[in-house]
Structure 1
Amino acid sequence: MVSSTRFMGRHDWANDEAPSIPAPVPGRLRVLIGRSAVIVLVIGILSWISISLLFNPPPDGPLEVQSVELSSAPAAPQGKGSPDSFTDKPAATGTTQLNTEPSGSSASGPTDKLILHVIGAVKTPGVYELEPGSRVRDAVSSAGGLNSNAAPENINLAAQVTDGQQVRIPKRGENPLPAAAVPDPPASETTPASDASTQGQPDASGSKININTADSTALQVLPGIGPALAQRIIDFRQSNGAFTSVVELDAVSGIGPALLGKIRDRVEFK
C-alpha cells in the first residue's frame, strides 16, 4: 500500500491561473462609438424631414398673415351672473350727437301775441300785448279802463284789433272816431272796374245803399268793396244784427278808416 504521504506536498499557488477579468475599453474607442451614434441620429432626423417634405410640401407663395382688429375701448365691467356677461357686444362707434336746438320758448319762433298802442281817454296809456282775436274792449281793459273823460259811445268797443295797431279812445266833445285802424282789403277783394267807375260818385239811381238790406251785388256797387268783403258784411249783419251807424262798420274785418271815408256818404241804415 502506497503511503498517502507520497502524494501530499505543498500547493503551488503561484502557478494557479487567476480568474479572467475583461480588459477595459480604450478611451478612443468610446469616442468613436459616441460619434457614430450622433451621426446615425442626425441622418435619421434628416431622413424624416426629407420624407415629410416629399409627401406634404409647403404651399407656394408667401404666407398670409391674418390681422386681428383690436378695440382700444375698455370693456365695461359686467356684473357676475348678469345676462350681458355671456354675450359679446360690439364696441360703440361713431360720434355722439349733441342737441343744439334751443330749449324753452326761444325754439317756438316768434310770439303770436298782438302788440297794440292804446292812447286817449284811458287810465294808463301805453303799449300792451293781447291774445289773438282780442277786441277794443280788451285793449281798454289792459290800459286800466276808461277814465272819466272817455266817450265810449263814440267808438265801437266790439271791433277786432290787429297786431301793430294804435287804438285811440275819444274824449268827450271830440268827433266820433273809428275804433281801430284796420288795413284796407287787398286788391283781390275789390272790383277794379266798379272802383274806377264809381269811386266818389253816386250810383246810377242816385240813391244810397241800405247796408242792412243790400245783398252782395248791391254792396259791391260801393267803392272799395268786392265779393269777399261784401260777404263778410252780410255775415256780420246776420250774426250781430242790423247796423245803426257807419262807425259800426269798422267792426267788420277788412274795413278801415280809409274805406269808411269812401262809403260814408253812399250808405244808409234803415
Structure 2
Amino acid sequence: MQIEKLIEKIKHYRWLSVGLLIPIMVIGLLLVILVKQDTAPSSVGLVSSPQLNTGKKTEKDVKKMAGNDKKMTDKETERKDRITVDLKGAVKKPAVYTLKQDSRVNDLLLVAGGVTDQADTKSINLAQKLTDEMVVYVSSIGEDRPVEIVGTKAHDDVDSAAAQETDKININTADLAQLQKLSGVGMKKAQDIIDYREQNGKFNQPEDLGNVSGFGEKSLEKLKGSVAVD
C-alpha cells in the first residue's frame, strides 16, 4: 500500500512539475532573446550597399584618379620639354631623335652612337644648342659641307649667301630680257653686252664688263654684286 501511494504521489508531482517547467522555459527563452537584441551592436550604415554607393567615390578611388591626373600632367609637361631633331651624314645611327629641350649637338651625337671614322670632326660645333625640327648634317672628310644646323643664324647666313649667288645674272649666258634686270641696264646696253661676247668671247671676270660701251667705273661698282661669269 505504501508503495502504491508513493507511485501515485510521484505521478501527481511529475505532471505538476512538467506544467510548471514549460512556462519557465518559455519565459527564459524570451528573456534570452530580449537580452541578445539589447546587447547586439547596430549595423545600420556600416554595411556598404552597392545601391547606396552608386555614383559615390571612395577615398581609394579619389587617390587613384588624382594619381592618374598627375601622371597625365607629367607626360604633357615632358612632351613640351622635348624637341625632335633629324640627324644625317657621317654618324653611326642617322635617324630622327627626341631629346630634352636644352640639348646640344654633343648630346645628339652621344645618343646616335657618335660619328663615323670618315666624319670631319673639325667642322662640328659640339656646343651648338638644338631646337625643335632642326636638321643636323655631319659632313665627311673632304666633303665641302660642314655641320648643317637648320634654323640657326649660321645656317641662315649660308642660305642668304646662296640666295644672293642665285640671284646674280650670268652675263655670259643671259638673254636680252635677263640682262635688262640689271640696275641701269636698258635694252641698248643689254644688246651691247650680247654683241660684245659674240665678237670677243665670254667674259672672264665681272670687271670685263667695263670693255663694253656705256659701262664705266660707277656702273661696274653698282653691278659688282649682281653679275656672275660662271
TM-score by length of 2: 0.39
Question: Which one has the bigger helix percentage?
Answer: 2
Bigger-Rg structure (1/2): 1
